[in-house]
Structure 1
Amino acid sequence: MSEAPAILIAPDSFKGSISAVRFCEIAERVFAEHLPGVEVISRPMADGGEGTVEAVIRGAGGSLHTERVTGPLGEPVEARWGLLPDRRTAVIEMAAASGLPLVPEGRKDPLRATSYGTGELIRAALDAGARRLIVGLGGSATNDAGAGALQALGLKLLDGSGAPLPPQARSLLKVARIDASELDPRLAETEVLLASDVTNVLLGPNGATAVYGPQKGVDAELQPVLEEALARFARLTVAATGTDHRETPGAGAAGGMGFGFLSWLGAELRSGFEVVADLVGLPEVFESGRLRLVVTGEGAINDQSAQGKLVGRIALLSWAHGVPVIALAGALQPGYEGLYAQGVASMQSIVPRPMSLHEAMRDAGDLLAARVRDLAHALQATAFGAWP
């Protein structure tokens, strides 16, 4: 008997409605009911932003841990991080502690926002014995160059009189000296890998404040203020560390946290997609030669999807191995057709009729199940349906 065909489910999250893990669970259930002879392989994906920890632990194994940490506005939040089976590698999402979804609409305050909670997550991972940290940079509410996180790890920002400054972005406007004498000594023996597909530098028109500041509440009046805050912190950092990462691609990720961690923690920066793909064994799944179809998806497919976003990366990987791809989305927006040139066979919205965004997000699980059911029925008419 021929080996049964395999379908790979490898989606991104539908932000605010369906996690990548839930997408996989829904697809597994529907395919098991309608295509019982087909093996379904799930690899929920992420690129360093929302859902990275959950996707990695689902794909690579390990354990989830929850900490009560400082949120972006200084209020306590519950944040999860993961510990891989080797017990020395931790996976952390900065967005879990310092992300924009943690800031209620109407309360965005980029001068006050802090990444301190991300540092607390790192400290918890170090306490658990981790000496390799994979930190996902994405979805931040902050514009503090990661200074808040570094302060949680022992770095001191001092004003002109030598007094310590609070962990807020506005403190970067007053910092006169940076004292690293109490930086957690465990960091010296810890490998830090930053996972991000952002290539922005720290400053300037392609920098953290100019490009990502507006979504965090940075208006035209605040933009030069926060730009100067980052520039001041950067000048002092370069003088103190002897390294200059201001122009390093990715330094502007997560409100400049890329720069802070590259400079003070000796971190390495890699593509978030590639980091997650390697951790969950995605290349090995393709190299098995058993895949007959890949199903991927994200909340919105548009002109950016073919420019390095996760669905586009999945499409290129599939194309390289000669496997067709079907992409499901909450919305197909202008420019989505660009993915056809990357080997995507079909793109479909899970929304079957006009409805409000609230309704679509509320019912996203049911809408996805219905669309996967339609896909399963279509596959039954092909060779997939011939396997017992």
Structure 2
Amino acid sequence: MRVVIAPDKFKGSLTSAEAAAAMAEGVLAVYPEATVTVVPVADGGEGTLDAALGAGAEPRTARVTGPLGRDTTAVWALSGDTALIETARASGLVLLDPSPETALAAGSYGSGQLIAHALDAGAKTIILGIGGSAMTDGGSGALCALGLKILDRDGNPVPPGGAGLLNAASVDASGLDPRLAGVDLRIAADVRNPLLGYEGTAAVFSGQKGAGAAEQQLLEEALDNWARLLKEATGVDVDVPGAGAAGGFPSGFLAFTGASLHPGFELLSAFTGLDESLTRCDLVLTGEGSLDNQSRYGKAPLEVAARARDAGIPVVAVAGQITLTPDQLQEYGIVAAVSLLDVVQRPQDAMSQAAKYVAWATRQVLEGA
């Protein structure tokens, strides 16, 4: 039997690679002669880098500028001439304590430094997972790290962060890294929010980053000014669906580079070779911390299941908890499913001993399938 194991993370307890290893233990307990292929997955947000590393990409480490200007160490991944960067590692919300002040000041400079490191390493394709961001700066900080100058009316550089864009009067792209023109830059943007307006990034997402009503309005005005400057400089209208992801991070790159927006799962599955693995298997296992209604909107496990279903391969799901109905699971080709809450005596054990219970649950569901 040939088995592909392709779970997402179990948030707060297991990375996707750790979850896959635990599932593999359960599979081999039932089918000791099975050939097991592990392909950790993610949807472009938190856990994307872990999934890439779990699939065999080479870890690289860089010292970069964090969202508030303090140095931090960030890991990224390289596989051949393809780099994968999770911007949250350099510019993430986890690197600060959110407040109204940080919502205005946080920037993406460090993420641009990671892109520069990838270019230095010879990357021809760069995949950017942009979930979990701290900034609402339209990608301006990252572009500054790559050589863009954003100037006020007196010709001085504007301060970093979204608020600084309010005083931006011109942009100078003459020093922008020329290597950007020759790289395939792919941005994982699962949300379809535009840059501006009531569905834009300031209105919808900046509150999660510490902004109150006054800060949200200021950031909206700053990003409106940013979009105007970008259109004047490049002719590109960046107020498009998806440009509002990660504090508007894609907007600057859509204007100054050949960057493209893609569903996160699509990018990572191509990076890890999931589709190729599915052509050579008899059974697929997937799962995540919670299989719920949100999972039906592009989350990785049900995307894995759907691809396997379309290839005629049965799917078994293992999750921390499952709130989807059996009929809903069957829509995705899931023939059997188990929740850790079905096998633990105390719910807290599902978190504290997740690997043990994932292996145990996997064994139980396969024996009963």
Q: In the superposition, relative to structure 1, how do residues 21 and 246 fare at CA in structure 2: closer, same or farther (>3 Å)?
A: same
**Aligned counterpart, 2:183:** 190
Distance 2:163 2:357 in 1: 44
Q: Determine if contact 1:303/1:338 at 8 Å carries over to the other structure.
A: no
**Aligned counterpart, 1:270:** 262
**Aligned counterpart, 1:82:** 77
Q: Quick check: which one's helix share is greater?
A: 2
Q: In the superposition, relative to structure 1, how do residues 152 and 216 fare at CA in structure 2: closer, same or farther (>3 Å)?
A: same
Query: What's the offset of the Cα at 1:209?
Result: 2.2
Query: What's the offset of the Cα at 1:228?
Result: 1.4
* Fraction of identical pairs, as percent: 44
CA deviation profile, 1:39-70 (whole Å, cap 9, x unmatched): 222110112222323323443x4421011111
Q: Determine if contact 1:35/1:376 at 8 Å carries over to the other structure.
A: no
1:226 aligns with 2:219: yes
**Aligned counterpart, 2:276:** 284
Query: TM-score normalised to the size of structure 2?
Result: 0.91
Distance 1:301 1:136 in 2: 22
More displaced, 218-227 or 249-258? Answer: 218-227
Q: In the superposition, relative to structure 1, how do residues 376 and 218 fare at CA in structure 2: closer, same or farther (>3 Å)?
A: same
SS for the counterpart of 1:228 is helix
Alignment of 1:9-28 (within 5 A): 9-28=5-24
What amino acid is aligned across from residue 367 of structure 1 in structure 2?
Y
1:297 aligns with 2:254: no
Distance 2:109 2:350 in 1: 34
What amino acid is aligned across from residue 349 of structure 1 in structure 2?
S
Gapped regions of structure 2 (runs ≥ 5): none
Q: Determine if contact 1:94/1:135 at 8 Å carries over to the other structure.
A: yes
CA deviation profile, 1:290-319 (whole Å, cap 9, x unmatched): 32x221112222212112221221121122
What amino acid is aligned across from residue 121 of structure 1 in structure 2?
L
Distance 2:189 2:310 in 1: 23
**Aligned counterpart, 1:386:** none
SS for the counterpart of 2:40 is coil
CA deviation profile, 1:167-189 (whole Å, cap 9, x unmatched): 21110111111111111122222
1:258 aligns with 2:253: no
Query: What's the offset of the Cα at 1:153?
Result: 0.8
Distance 2:323 2:68 in 1: 33
More displaced, 325-334 or 335-344? Answer: 335-344
Q: Determine if contact 2:318/2:340 at 8 Å carries over to the other structure.
A: yes
Which of residues 211, 228, 238 in structure 2 aligns to 1:245? 238
SS for the counterpart of 1:148 is helix
Q: Determine if contact 2:100/2:212 at 8 Å carries over to the other structure.
A: no
What amino acid is aligned across from residue 247 of structure 2 in structure 1?
G
Q: Determine if contact 1:203/1:246 at 8 Å carries over to the other structure.
A: yes
Alignment of 1:359-378 (within 5 A): 360-378=350-368
1:160 aligns with 2:153: yes
1:344 aligns with 2:334: yes
Distance 1:107 1:337 in 2: 45
What amino acid is aligned across from residue 22 of structure 1 in structure 2?
E
Q: In the superposition, relative to structure 1, how do residues 205 and 325 fare at CA in structure 2: closer, same or farther (>3 Å)?
A: farther
Q: Determine if contact 1:108/1:216 at 8 Å carries over to the other structure.
A: no
**Aligned counterpart, 1:319:** 309
More displaced, 30-39 or 164-173? Answer: 30-39
Distance 2:213 2:337 in 1: 38
Distance 2:63 2:325 in 1: 41
SS for the counterpart of 2:11 is coil
Q: In the superposition, relative to structure 1, how do residues 243 and 16 fare at CA in structure 2: closer, same or farther (>3 Å)?
A: same
CA deviation profile, 1:316-338 (whole Å, cap 9, x unmatched): 11221222222222233478964
SS for the counterpart of 1:235 is helix
What amino acid is aligned across from residue 275 of structure 2 in structure 1?
P
What amino acid is aligned across from residue 206 of structure 2 in structure 1?
G
Distance 1:230 1:262 in 2: 14
Query: What's the offset of the Cα at 1:360?
Result: 4.4
Distance 2:25 2:100 in 1: 40
Q: Determine if contact 1:306/1:338 at 8 Å carries over to the other structure.
A: no
Distance 1:320 1:38 in 2: 23
Which of residues 46, 50, 53 in structure 2 aligns to 1:54? 50
Query: What's the offset of the Cα at 1:9?
Result: 0.9
Query: TM-score normalised to the size of structure 1?
Result: 0.87
More displaced, 45-54 or 138-147? Answer: 45-54
**Aligned counterpart, 2:4:** 8
**Aligned counterpart, 2:205:** 212
Distance 2:353 2:94 in 1: 20
Distance 1:324 1:221 in 2: 52
Gapped regions of structure 1 (runs ≥ 5): 380-388
What amino acid is aligned across from residue 355 of structure 1 in structure 2?
P
Q: In the superposition, relative to structure 1, how do residues 18 and 116 fare at CA in structure 2: closer, same or farther (>3 Å)?
A: same
What amino acid is aligned across from residue 306 of structure 2 in structure 1?
L
What amino acid is aligned across from residue 134 of structure 1 in structure 2?
I
Distance 2:14 2:250 in 1: 28
